[in-house]
Amino acid sequence: MEEQKSLEAIIMSSLSTLTPLQLSKLTHHFSSVYHRYHHRILSLLSSPTLFSLTLHHLNSLSLHHKSLLIGRHLLSKLAILTYFMQKNTILPPRSTTSMNLRDVDAVLLLLLLCNLRQHEPGALDAPPSCWRDILRDYMAKDILKLSNIEGSSSEVILKFIELVAKCKDFVNAMAYDGGDQGYSYGEGKEGKKLAASVAVVVALPSVEASGGENECVVCKEDMKLGRDICKLPCDHLFHWKCILPWLKKTNTCPCCRFQLPSDDVFAETQRLWDVLAKMSGAT
């Protein structure tokens, strides 16, 4: 409970740094996203065929794949907040947060089933053939909440805070899942370093060396005047031939340990959360 309050406090502190215009745009954007998902799940429950196909797809996924879908879904909400804060934060590559429509339906159905089990533990003891009707009745009770969110900016913000906090909670759960075989962020499983996202590396700017730069810390050689060199978001400069192999192994700057985005959903959640906490003054 105390940790949950701490998470929400960090989010509230982050929101307090937004200008009224930024907060208004965030509220409008998240309200639009929330309603799109809400209407999607209603459409899913109104079609026996679509519901059956989605449930079959969900059942065919491994536990890891289901966790990955939830992680990607929640990471996209965290990315929304960091985007609207406009603090020169590098967002995760789109490939890390985007999903096709079939997976969107699957994760929305999975989250709905989880919510139902949380609020009505015995409801899913019924045969799966009855689940659509059970979920439709459950969603009918949620219609009033939707109307409240339509008319209240504060309700939108509260819903957003809840989702972003769930994002961090979910990552914490994944980090410690498996006992001593925990997940170390900034690293892959079993301590393997995470490479920088290819999409992010390709977008790195090339600048011309002016002759006043220090030596490349990777090869310890001077940067020759007029030569194209790579500039990382932290403003450190490197020879392209030096930094590219480095970023294939790790997503951190050789000088300051600044983290570039990776293609790992859970590591990206931790990276953005650390950025969020720093901007909110919590660290």
Q: State residue 13's pLDDT score.
A: 81
* Residues, the chain: 283
Domains along the chain with CATH numbers? 2-187+265-279 (no CATH), 195-249 (3.30.40.10)
Please state the rounded mean pLDDT for residues 191-200: 83
* Distance from C-alpha of 62 to C-alpha of 73, rounded to nearest angstrom: 17
Burial class of residue 19, CB neighbours in 10 A (0-12, 13-18, 19+): exposed
Mean pLDDT (the chain) is 81
| Confidence tier at 213 by pLDDT (50, 70, 90) | low
Q: Out of 106-115, 159-168, 183-192, which region has the weakest mean confidence (pLDDT)?
A: 183-192
Tokens for 74, please give them: 């929640």
Tokens for 131, please give them: 């689940």
Q: State residue 186's pLDDT score.
A: 44
The pLDDT tens digits for 26-55 are 888 888 888 888 889 999 999 999 999 999
The pLDDT tens digits for 47-92 are 999 999 999 999 999 988 888 888 898 888 888 888 887 666 788 8
The pLDDT tens digits for 89-118 are 788 888 888 889 999 999 999 988 988 888
Supply the pTM of this predicted model.
Answer: 0.77
Tokens for 281, please give them: 């003054």
Tokens for 57, please give them: 């797809």
Q: Which residues in 102-125 are b (16+ Cβ under 10 Å) and which e?
A: ebbbbbbbbbbbeebeeeeeebee
Nearest to 202 by CA among 254, 255, 256, 240: 240
Please state the rounded mean pLDDT for residues 218-229: 88
Q: State residue 139's pLDDT score.
A: 85
As a whole-number percent, the residues of the chain with pLDDT over 70 amount to 81
